[in-house]
A and B are shown apart, each in its own frame.
Chain A
Amino acid sequence: MIASIATLILGFVIGYLGQRSRLCFVSGYRDFILTHDTNLLKGVLGAFIGALGGFILFSFLGSGILGFPMLLQTTILTRSAVIITIVSALGVGIVGALSGGCPYRMHVLAAEGKKTYWVYLLGFYAGLVFYNLVTTHFMDMVKTVLK
């Protein structure tokens, strides 16, 4: 239950800050590509620096940051995992650019009362049902083929 409450509070804070700052993890790259505007890109870098600082701090304090940093450990990357990561990440980037933002930004815009993004979220959650019914089985087949 502690994780539920913690994520609810963290979600509330980042939802509030996201509405005030227009933070977006797709528009940051898009704005930089289109107009060399670094304002939103700084938010992405801020998240990276904040997370990195937090992981370093809490791993020194010895609390719950298991196996950090993973770069220094021997990890075996399977061919299927790399291919699936590349294809799906490209898909996330393309769809994010076309729709104008990341899922976080879309939830914030929907909360502002913009019905266009309600429709986006309708598709989002319909897609979740589809994922559970179809995509997971399809991906099992893909993983078997790529092995």
Chain B
Amino acid sequence: MSLRKVKVSPLQAGLVLGFGSALVQAYFKVIPPLAYGVCMVCHPKDLFNWIADHLLHLNWGYSLASTNWPLLTVVGVVLGAMLAAYQHGELHLRSVRQPLFYFINGFLMINFGLILGACPIRIVLLSAYGNWLGIIGWTCVVIGVLVGTRVLRWAAARTVRRSEMA
């Protein structure tokens, strides 16, 4: 059986994500906090802490939206992406590169994200909601990406210089 290749533009995916996040807040009680439809640091935290709380009684905090049952966005994202990759022949095991670098990046990302109370998706949703901290945060995320990109450029240029000298 041949499966039709699904082509989606980032604009279409973004529109669905944004509208869907408003929809789950409006009709499916993914609230409070506000503009909480999709967050890839807070929802994993809610799920992880909910399980830790119910299994080990650790009393780690989670949002009111997760009080009775945890939010399963992260599980859905992984399953959806896995199905898409499988359907299109893109599901392959690939070896690890720079493990320590990526481990530290993941470690730092969730800590900064949870201090902010949002991931780069929710900061956009908060801005759309008209939240001032969301707008300030979104601006600073963009500035942060600008700084990070400069660091990457500098590191790449240094590597080229070193290889030329060698």
Where the two chains meet, the residues of A that have a C-beta atom closer than 8 Å to any C-beta of B are: 1-23, 25-26, 28-30, 33-34, 39-40, 42-55, 57-58, 61, 63-72, 75, 77, 81-82, 84-99, 102-104, 106-108, 110-128, 130-132, 135-136, 139
Known: A7-B43, A92-B113. A46 touches B98 (CB 8 A): no
B147, A70: Cβ atoms under 8 Å? no
Residues in chain B near residue A90, CB distance under 8 A: 140-141, 143-144, 147
Known: A85-B136, A96-B148. A11 touches B22 (CB 8 A): no
Where the two chains meet, the residues of B that have a C-beta atom closer than 8 Å to any C-beta of A are: 6-31, 34-35, 37-38, 40-41, 43-45, 48-49, 52, 58, 60-61, 65-66, 68-85, 88, 90-99, 101-116, 119-121, 123-125, 127-133, 136-149, 151-153
A42, B10: Cβ atoms under 8 Å? yes
Interface of A is mostly: helix
Pick the contact of B152 from A10, A51, A97 — CB < 8 Å?
Answer: A97
Bound Cα distance from A140 to B115, whole angstroms: 11
Residues in chain B near residue A103, CB distance under 8 A: 40-41, 44, 109-110, 113, 119-120
Interface of B is mostly: helix
A48, B16: Cβ atoms under 8 Å? no
6 more A-B residue pairs beyond the given contacts A47-B14, A51-B124, with a C-beta to C-beta distance below 8 A:
A11-B72, A42-B10, A58-B26, A87-B115, A104-B40, A112-B81
Pick the contact of B77 from A34, A50, A64, A104 — CB < 8 Å?
Answer: A104
A122, B77: Cβ atoms under 8 Å? no
B145, A6: Cβ atoms under 8 Å? no
A8, B18: Cβ atoms under 8 Å? no
Residues in chain B near residue A50, CB distance under 8 A: 14-22
A116, B14: Cβ atoms under 8 Å? no
Bound Cα distance from A66 to B25, whole angstroms: 10
B23, A58: Cβ atoms under 8 Å? yes
* Chain A min CB distance to B48 (Å): 6
B106, A13: Cβ atoms under 8 Å? no
A21, B8: Cβ atoms under 8 Å? yes
* Chain B min CB distance to A53 (Å): 6
* Chain A min CB distance to B17 (Å): 5
Residues in chain A near residue B49, CB distance under 8 A: 132
Residues in chain A near residue B6, CB distance under 8 A: 16, 20
Residues in chain A near residue B96, CB distance under 8 A: 115-116, 118-119
